[in-house]
Amino acid sequence: MNIIEKIEQDLHTAMREKDATKVRALRLAMASIKYVEKENRKPLDDLGMMAVLQKEIKIRHETMEEAQKGGRQDLVDECTTDIQILEKYLPAPLSEAELEELVKNIIEETGADSMKDMGKVMPLAVQQVNGRAPNNLISQVIRKFLAG
């Protein structure tokens, strides 16, 4: 069962159980996935769906920060709940040590030795991480090793 099927199944269950919070969060996720599919004019694979969910979580984090500045605890709580719901559909994230080890191996395999080789390393890292770490974090770790 892929991610979209799991979300749809959980959405139906939440609707039957009248869990309005979960229904809202899952409908927003479904809408984002459908929007990206419509823009691309093709269905997303699981990696694409994970990217959409990670983007939605990132948006919730940003909203949470702004809500905290504005003293909107209700919005902070809502975003926190949404994040917890959406994270269930993502694979367990890599620890920083695991990510660093993976990047070291890729750098050794490709023979990369400077920032010019970032273009060789980044696609391989993204592919091997397989959605278990955000791309900006992968990029930071690669830069750390290639710059040092």
Same domain, 27 and 65: yes
CATH number at residue 136: 1.10.10.410
pTM of the model: 0.73
Residue whose pair of structure tokens reads 């070291």 in the numeric block: 104
Give the Cα-Cα-Cα angle 14, 82, 43 (nearest 5 degrees). 75
Sequence-ordered list of residues with C-beta below 8 angstroms from that of 93, at least 6 positions apart, any chain: 132, 133
Same domain, 116 and 55: no
**Could you list the residue range(s) of the whole structural domain that residue 136 is in?**
96-147
Same domain, 77 and 7: yes
Domain boundary among 38, 54, 87: 87
Could you read off the pLDDT tens digit of each residue along the chain, which spans 148 residues?
A: 788 899 999 999 999 999 999 999 999 999 999 999 999 999 888 878 888 888 899 899 999 999 999 999 999 999 999 999 999 988 888 888 888 899 988 888 888 787 888 888 888 888 888 778 878 888 889 888 887 6
Same domain, 65 and 138: no
The SS3 of residue 31 is: helix
Same domain, 77 and 100: no
